[in-house]
Amino acid sequence: MKRVDALRAIHPKLADRIVVTIMGAVAAELQGIGHRPNFFYLQHAMGLASSMGLGIALTRPERQVIVLDGDGSVLMNLGGLTTLARYRPRNLLHVVFDNESLLSVGGFPTATSTGSDLAKIAAAAGVPRTATVSAIDDFTRAFDEALAAGDLTTIVAKVEAVGPSKFVTDLSLLENRFEFQRYLSKPQT
């Protein structure tokens, strides 16, 4: 499965949900498919997209929050999984695109390439719902089931280590920051 195809498959379902992604390849891919004011691409703070998603999910329990993460990023903040599980926001769906590499900085292999299992780690941390998928149909099914279940879920989507040739986009961090903040503070109809 290619991550960009997985993103295309769920893109319509992200329209009215709060989305936080990691930086680099996934951010560029999602922007390429179609940016929205409810998407925030967390730059620089590697590993902390799920922590930011947790904060938003806890303060906005009426909204569904979706975090699009990477294996390298999760491995950098494994303690974040224990904090997610501890507070268990029912409105947070944590998707980890596991390409077994740090693709955005050259493709160095991560520990998932040598057997570390992020879904099992999330489950052991106390995340109540976890799944590992490696085909688009299974991914979209797991995604829909997680939204319907209304409980904290981590989906590890095994994807090929391929991405766009450039990760630079024309959306600056500050522009995205103010736009996203305005979106969050706007009353939803």
Ligand X SMILES: Cc1ncc(C[n+]2csc(CCOP(=O)(O)OP(=O)(O)O)c2C)c(N)n1
In the bound state with ligand X, the residue whose beta carbon lies nearer, of 22 and 93, is 22
Dihedral sign (CA 82, 113, 95, 149)? negative
Asked whether the beta carbons of 180 and 36 are under 8 A apart, the reply is no
Q: Binding segment for ligand X among 64-72, 86-94, 146-154, 179-187 (CB under 6 A)?
A: 64-72
Question: For the chain, where are the alpha helices, taking DSSP H only?
Answer: 3-10, 25-34, 49-59, 71-76, 78-87, 118-125, 136-149, 173-185
- Residue 125's identity, in one-letter code, is A
Q: Binding segment for ligand X among 9-17, 20-28, 83-91, 131-139 (CB under 6 A)?
A: 20-28
Among 38, 104, 153, 154, binds ligand X (CB under 6 A): 104
Q: How far is the CB of 161 from ligand X (least distance, A)?
A: 7
Residue 118 touches ligand X, criterion: CB under 6 A: no
| Count of beta carbons in the 10 Å neighbourhood of residue 175 | 10
Q: Binding segment for ligand X among 52-60, 82-90, 103-111, 139-147 (CB under 6 A)?
A: 103-111
Residue 44 touches ligand X, criterion: CB under 6 A: yes
Residue with tokens 């706007």: 186
Residue with tokens 């329990």: 61
Q: Which residue's CB atom is positioned nearest to ligand X? A: 70
d(CA 78, CA 75): 5
Residue 25 touches ligand X, criterion: CB under 6 A: yes
SS3 at position 33: helix
Among 72, 80, 89, 164, binds ligand X (CB under 6 A): 72
Residue 99 touches ligand X, criterion: CB under 6 A: yes
| DSSP 8-state class, residue 167 | -
Q: Binding segment for ligand X among 71-79, 127-135, 140-148, 150-158 (CB under 6 A)?
A: 71-79
In the complex, the residues that contact ligand X under the rule CB under 6 A are 22-26, 44, 46, 70-73, 99, 101-105
